[in-house]
Chains A and B, each alone.
Chain A
Amino acid sequence: MILGRVVGQVWATRKCRRLEGQKLLLVQPLCWHLPDHETDHVVAVDPVGAEVGQDVVICMGTPARLALGDTRFPVEASVAAIVDDVEMWEGRLQRPVNGSGQSGGAR
Protein backbone atom coordinates (compact mmCIF):
# COMPACT_ATOMS: atom_id res chain seq x y z
CA MET A 1 0.00 0.00 0.00
CA ILE A 2 1.01 3.60 -0.38
CA LEU A 3 -0.10 6.85 1.13
CA GLY A 4 -1.39 9.45 -1.31
CA ARG A 5 -3.34 12.66 -1.62
CA VAL A 6 -6.41 12.88 -3.84
CA VAL A 7 -5.72 15.67 -6.32
CA GLY A 8 -8.55 15.17 -8.77
CA GLN A 9 -11.20 13.02 -10.32
CA VAL A 10 -11.20 11.37 -13.74
CA TRP A 11 -14.37 11.26 -15.84
CA ALA A 12 -14.89 8.93 -18.77
CA THR A 13 -17.88 8.04 -20.93
CA ARG A 14 -16.36 5.33 -23.06
CA LYS A 15 -14.89 2.78 -20.74
CA CYS A 16 -14.67 -0.89 -19.99
CA ARG A 17 -18.11 -2.12 -18.95
CA ARG A 18 -16.85 -3.41 -15.63
CA LEU A 19 -15.72 0.11 -14.72
CA GLU A 20 -19.21 1.58 -15.09
CA GLY A 21 -20.45 3.22 -11.91
CA GLN A 22 -16.95 3.29 -10.44
CA LYS A 23 -15.43 6.55 -9.31
CA LEU A 24 -11.88 7.14 -10.55
CA LEU A 25 -9.57 9.39 -8.55
CA LEU A 26 -6.26 10.95 -9.42
CA VAL A 27 -3.92 10.37 -6.51
CA GLN A 28 -0.49 11.84 -5.90
CA PRO A 29 1.71 9.52 -3.84
CA LEU A 30 3.05 11.22 -0.72
CA CYS A 31 6.79 10.97 -0.78
CA TRP A 32 8.59 13.30 1.56
CA HIS A 33 11.99 12.83 0.01
CA LEU A 34 11.17 13.83 -3.54
CA PRO A 35 9.89 17.07 -5.04
CA ASP A 36 6.19 16.85 -5.98
CA HIS A 37 6.87 16.78 -9.69
CA GLU A 38 9.02 13.67 -9.39
CA THR A 39 6.25 11.35 -8.23
CA ASP A 40 3.98 9.70 -10.76
CA HIS A 41 0.26 10.16 -10.24
CA VAL A 42 -1.89 7.08 -9.83
CA VAL A 43 -5.46 6.63 -11.05
CA ALA A 44 -7.32 4.63 -8.44
CA VAL A 45 -10.87 3.31 -8.20
CA ASP A 46 -12.62 4.56 -5.10
CA PRO A 47 -15.18 2.30 -3.41
CA VAL A 48 -14.75 4.14 -0.08
CA GLY A 49 -15.86 7.67 -1.01
CA ALA A 50 -12.80 9.90 -0.79
CA GLU A 51 -12.80 13.54 -1.85
CA VAL A 52 -10.26 15.85 -3.40
CA GLY A 53 -7.75 17.01 -0.79
CA GLN A 54 -8.05 13.96 1.44
CA ASP A 55 -5.20 11.60 2.17
CA VAL A 56 -5.84 7.97 1.33
CA VAL A 57 -4.24 4.55 1.50
CA ILE A 58 -4.04 2.97 -1.96
CA CYS A 59 -3.60 -0.74 -2.44
CA MET A 60 -2.22 -2.22 -5.63
CA GLY A 61 -2.65 -5.44 -7.57
CA THR A 62 -4.90 -8.29 -6.45
CA PRO A 63 -6.01 -6.60 -3.20
CA ALA A 64 -7.13 -3.62 -5.27
CA ARG A 65 -9.52 -5.89 -7.12
CA LEU A 66 -10.57 -7.64 -3.91
CA ALA A 67 -11.55 -4.24 -2.53
CA LEU A 68 -14.21 -4.05 -5.23
CA GLY A 69 -15.50 -7.48 -4.33
CA ASP A 70 -14.34 -9.40 -7.38
CA THR A 71 -10.89 -10.29 -8.69
CA ARG A 72 -12.02 -9.89 -12.31
CA PHE A 73 -12.24 -6.09 -12.28
CA PRO A 74 -9.86 -4.38 -14.74
CA VAL A 75 -8.27 -2.43 -11.92
CA GLU A 76 -4.83 -2.33 -10.36
CA ALA A 77 -5.14 0.43 -7.79
CA SER A 78 -7.97 1.20 -5.42
CA VAL A 79 -8.61 3.25 -2.31
CA ALA A 80 -8.54 1.07 0.80
CA ALA A 81 -8.89 3.72 3.51
CA ILE A 82 -9.26 7.44 4.09
CA VAL A 83 -6.55 8.64 6.43
CA ASP A 84 -7.60 10.50 9.59
CA ASP A 85 -4.16 10.94 10.99
CA VAL A 86 -0.58 9.80 10.61
CA GLU A 87 1.28 9.51 13.87
CA MET A 88 4.86 10.31 12.92
CA TRP A 89 8.15 9.53 14.51
CA GLU A 90 9.29 13.00 15.52
CA GLY A 91 11.59 14.64 13.05
CA ARG A 92 12.14 11.56 10.95
CA LEU A 93 10.73 12.89 7.73
CA GLN A 94 11.69 16.48 8.22
CA ARG A 95 15.35 15.56 8.15
CA PRO A 96 15.99 12.85 5.60
CA VAL A 97 19.64 11.84 5.80
CA ASN A 98 21.46 10.86 2.65
CA GLY A 99 24.36 8.48 2.98
CA SER A 100 25.87 9.95 6.12
CA GLY A 101 25.37 6.81 8.18
CA GLN A 102 23.14 8.52 10.72
CA SER A 103 19.76 7.56 9.46
CA GLY A 104 19.41 4.15 11.06
CA GLY A 105 17.34 5.49 13.87
CA ALA A 106 16.58 2.12 15.38
CA ARG A 107 19.93 1.85 17.09
Chain B
Amino acid sequence: MIRGVVIGEVWATRKNPALQGRKLLLVSQLSVHMDGTRHFTGRVIVAMDNLDADVGQEVVVAFGSGARNAIEPGSRSVLVDAAVVQVIDGSST
Protein backbone atom coordinates (compact mmCIF):
# COMPACT_ATOMS: atom_id res chain seq x y z
CA MET B 1 0.00 0.00 0.00
CA ILE B 2 1.11 3.55 -0.53
CA ARG B 3 0.25 6.86 0.99
CA GLY B 4 -0.83 9.68 -1.32
CA VAL B 5 -2.78 12.86 -1.82
CA VAL B 6 -5.89 12.98 -3.98
CA ILE B 7 -5.07 15.53 -6.66
CA GLY B 8 -7.99 15.11 -9.01
CA GLU B 9 -10.88 13.09 -10.31
CA VAL B 10 -11.01 11.29 -13.66
CA TRP B 11 -14.18 11.42 -15.78
CA ALA B 12 -14.81 8.99 -18.60
CA THR B 13 -17.87 8.26 -20.73
CA ARG B 14 -16.49 5.53 -22.97
CA LYS B 15 -15.27 2.81 -20.68
CA ASN B 16 -15.47 -0.85 -19.87
CA PRO B 17 -18.98 -1.59 -18.53
CA ALA B 18 -17.38 -3.01 -15.38
CA LEU B 19 -16.32 0.54 -14.48
CA GLN B 20 -19.87 1.91 -14.70
CA GLY B 21 -20.80 3.99 -11.68
CA ARG B 22 -17.31 3.79 -10.17
CA LYS B 23 -15.43 6.85 -8.99
CA LEU B 24 -11.84 7.17 -10.19
CA LEU B 25 -9.41 9.42 -8.36
CA LEU B 26 -6.00 10.65 -9.36
CA VAL B 27 -3.60 10.07 -6.46
CA SER B 28 -0.06 11.40 -6.21
CA GLN B 29 2.22 9.25 -4.07
CA LEU B 30 3.61 11.00 -1.03
CA SER B 31 6.86 10.20 0.69
CA VAL B 32 7.07 11.21 4.34
CA HIS B 33 10.45 11.33 6.05
CA MET B 34 11.33 10.81 9.71
CA ASP B 35 11.78 14.55 10.25
CA GLY B 36 8.28 15.23 9.02
CA THR B 37 9.20 16.61 5.62
CA ARG B 38 7.23 15.22 2.75
CA HIS B 39 7.44 15.31 -0.98
CA PHE B 40 5.68 13.85 -3.99
CA THR B 41 7.60 10.94 -5.46
CA GLY B 42 6.33 11.71 -8.97
CA ARG B 43 4.25 8.57 -9.22
CA VAL B 44 0.64 9.38 -10.11
CA ILE B 45 -1.94 6.60 -10.10
CA VAL B 46 -5.63 6.24 -10.83
CA ALA B 47 -7.41 4.61 -7.89
CA MET B 48 -11.00 3.50 -7.51
CA ASP B 49 -12.77 5.02 -4.54
CA ASN B 50 -15.84 3.95 -2.61
CA LEU B 51 -14.94 5.82 0.60
CA ASP B 52 -15.86 9.23 -0.83
CA ALA B 53 -12.40 10.74 -0.52
CA ASP B 54 -12.17 14.38 -1.56
CA VAL B 55 -9.57 16.18 -3.58
CA GLY B 56 -6.81 17.36 -1.25
CA GLN B 57 -7.25 14.55 1.27
CA GLU B 58 -4.51 12.12 2.17
CA VAL B 59 -5.34 8.50 1.48
CA VAL B 60 -3.89 5.00 1.58
CA VAL B 61 -4.08 3.11 -1.71
CA ALA B 62 -3.91 -0.68 -2.01
CA PHE B 63 -2.96 -2.55 -5.17
CA GLY B 64 -3.71 -5.88 -6.80
CA SER B 65 -6.20 -8.30 -5.32
CA GLY B 66 -6.15 -6.23 -2.14
CA ALA B 67 -7.68 -3.40 -4.16
CA ARG B 68 -10.33 -5.71 -5.58
CA ASN B 69 -11.19 -6.92 -2.09
CA ALA B 70 -11.63 -3.33 -0.94
CA ILE B 71 -14.18 -2.65 -3.67
CA GLU B 72 -15.99 -5.99 -3.72
CA PRO B 73 -14.64 -8.67 -1.37
CA GLY B 74 -13.96 -11.95 -3.12
CA SER B 75 -14.94 -10.64 -6.52
CA ARG B 76 -12.89 -11.27 -9.63
CA SER B 77 -15.08 -9.26 -11.93
CA VAL B 78 -14.34 -5.71 -10.79
CA LEU B 79 -11.90 -3.96 -13.08
CA VAL B 80 -9.62 -2.46 -10.48
CA ASP B 81 -5.93 -2.77 -9.65
CA ALA B 82 -5.69 0.19 -7.25
CA ALA B 83 -8.23 1.32 -4.67
CA VAL B 84 -8.50 3.82 -1.84
CA VAL B 85 -8.67 1.79 1.37
CA GLN B 86 -8.27 4.53 3.98
CA VAL B 87 -8.77 8.25 4.22
CA ILE B 88 -6.10 9.46 6.62
CA ASP B 89 -7.32 11.62 9.52
CA GLY B 90 -3.95 12.12 11.10
CA SER B 91 -0.58 10.45 11.57
CA SER B 92 2.42 10.78 13.83
CA THR B 93 4.64 12.11 11.02
Interface set of A (CB-CB < 8 Å, partner B): 1-3, 30-34, 47-49, 57, 59-64, 66-67, 71, 80-89, 92-93, 96-101, 103-107
Contacts and interface: CB of A to CB of B under 8 A. Distances in A.
Given A63-B81, A81-B12, A81-B19, A2 B44 contact: yes
A66 B76 contact: yes
Given A66-B76, A97-B39, A103-B39, A89 B16 contact: no
Contacts, number: 140
A93 B42 CA distance: 10
A3 B26 contact: yes
Interface residues of B, number: 47
